[in-house]
């Protein structure tokens, strides 16, 4: 398993994997202003692929670009067609999809405004982001010493390339300390999210998750809330401290890459084996993305 594929879509055409190159003076490489998405295709009952919530992801991609003042020369419909074309060309029903929009070369400096806007779409085979063992039995997490971006220091709702320095540093730290993932607190000390996943905590059958104020508004997060509400479970979108995690009955992370990953330990406090709510959400999500849940089926783009 690697990140290689047959072709990558770049600015309107499919190019061989080896030829999908950019100039070293690309503006985004130097300053990090650019946006991306993480999407997944799953094998469906007919053996072909289906992309889960493609429209929602493309909408967020274009929203992210708008917030960053990037004029994207492609429409939602064109990008959708490009994703489908890339999937067909590579023939990978089960894969991760990475659209990225970035500024190319031309001018340097923070004030450069008219560099060309490029768009690429790559696909690759990506198994369980936080490990097979993690998704089955839960991962161990640590509160990070790195603070999540202050609500006014960045555009938290956007999936901006440069934001991820904060996440990568937190992830390195957690892994070097022997944990699987970091939990990041915001500037006020409230629980925000994982480095690339949203977070849910359950106690006595009631679920809490931080509001979309200073976190990335995850599409998986939204799906989890819908699944829980569908089951009649109360979900509170509210701020809470790390102590709420220490006494939770269940904690889990959600994201397109991580899917639904249970947490079994937070800062050396056992949260326990993945509990019934986590198992239930995992089950509906896993069946849903494969087209096996009626009310989630309209969210699948078959290709």
Ligand X SMILES: *Cc1c(COP(=O)(O)O)cnc(C)c1O
- Where do contacts with ligand X occur on this chain (CB under 6 A)? 38, 159, 193, 196-198, 216, 218-221, 254-256
Distances (CA, A) of 256 to 126, 169, 180: 11, 21, 17
As measured in angstroms, the least distance from the Cβ of 18 to ligand X is 28
Concatenated DSSP letters for 5-39? Answer: -SEEEETTEEEEGGG----TT-HHHHH--EEE--E
Nearer to ligand X, 218 or 274 (CB): 218
Nearer to ligand X, 98 or 115 (CB): 98
As measured in angstroms, the least distance from the Cβ of 21 to ligand X is 25
Nearer to ligand X, 49 or 210 (CB): 210
As measured in angstroms, the least distance from the Cβ of 102 to ligand X is 16
As measured in angstroms, the least distance from the Cβ of 78 to ligand X is 21
- The whole-angstrom separation of Cα 237 and Cα 222 is 11
Nearer to ligand X, 26 or 254 (CB): 254
As measured in angstroms, the least distance from the Cβ of 37 to ligand X is 8
Given 6, 66, 159, 208, the catalytic residue: 159
Residues 6+ apart with CB under 8 A from 165: 32
Residues comprising the chain, all counted:
303
> Largest Cα–Cα distance in the chain?
57
On whether the CB atoms of residues 76 and 62 are closer than 8 A, the answer is yes
> Is 159 among the residues known to form the active site?
yes
Q: What counts of helices (H) and strands (E) characterise the chain?
A: 8, 17
Exposure of 32 in the CB half-sphere (CA atoms within 13 A): 10
Nearer to ligand X, 115 or 134 (CB): 134
Mapped onto helix, strand or coil, the DSSP state of residue 58 is: helix
* 276-289 vs 219-230: helix crossing angle, rounded to 10: 110
- The whole-angstrom separation of Cα 146 and Cα 183 is 9
Q: Which residues are catalytic?
A: 159
């Amino acid at each position: 398993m690697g990140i290689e594929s047959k072709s990558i879509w770049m600015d309107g055409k499919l190019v061989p994997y080896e030829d999908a190159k950019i100039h070293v003076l690309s503006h985004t490489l130097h300053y990090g202003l650019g946006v991306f998405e993480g999407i997944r295709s799953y094998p469906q009952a007919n053996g072909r692929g289906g992309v889960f919530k493609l429209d929602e992801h493309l909408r967020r991609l274009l929203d992210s670009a708008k917030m960053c003042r990037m004029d994207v020369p492609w429409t939602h419909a064109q990008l959708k067609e490009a994703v489908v074309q890339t999937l067909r060309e590579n023939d990978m029903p089960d894969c991760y999809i990475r659209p990225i929009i970035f500024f190319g070369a031309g001018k340097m400096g923070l004030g450069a405004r008219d560099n060309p806007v490029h768009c690429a779409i790559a696909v690759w085979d990506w198994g369980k982001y936080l490990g097979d063992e993690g998704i089955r039995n839960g991962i161990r997490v640590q509160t990070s010493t790195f603070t999540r971006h202050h609500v006014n220091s960045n555009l938290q709702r956007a999936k901006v390339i440069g934001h991820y320095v904060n996440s990568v540093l937190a992830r390195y730290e957690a892994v070097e300390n022997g944990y699987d993932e970091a939990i990041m607190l915001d500037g006020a000390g409230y629980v925000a999210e994982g480095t690339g996943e949203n977070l849910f905590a359950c106690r006595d059958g009631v679920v809490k998750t931080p509001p979309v104020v200073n976190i990335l508004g995850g599409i998986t997060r939204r799906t989890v809330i819908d699944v829980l509400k569908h089951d009649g479970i109360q979900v509170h979108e509210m701020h809470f401290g790390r102590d709420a995690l220490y006494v939770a009955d269940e904690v889990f992370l959600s994201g397109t890459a991580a899917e639904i990953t249970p947490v079994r330990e937070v800062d050396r406090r056992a949260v326990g084996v993945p509990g019934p709510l986590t198992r239930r959400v995992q089950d509906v999500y896993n069946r849903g993305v494969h087209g096996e849940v009626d009310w989630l089926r309209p969210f699948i783009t078959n290709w």
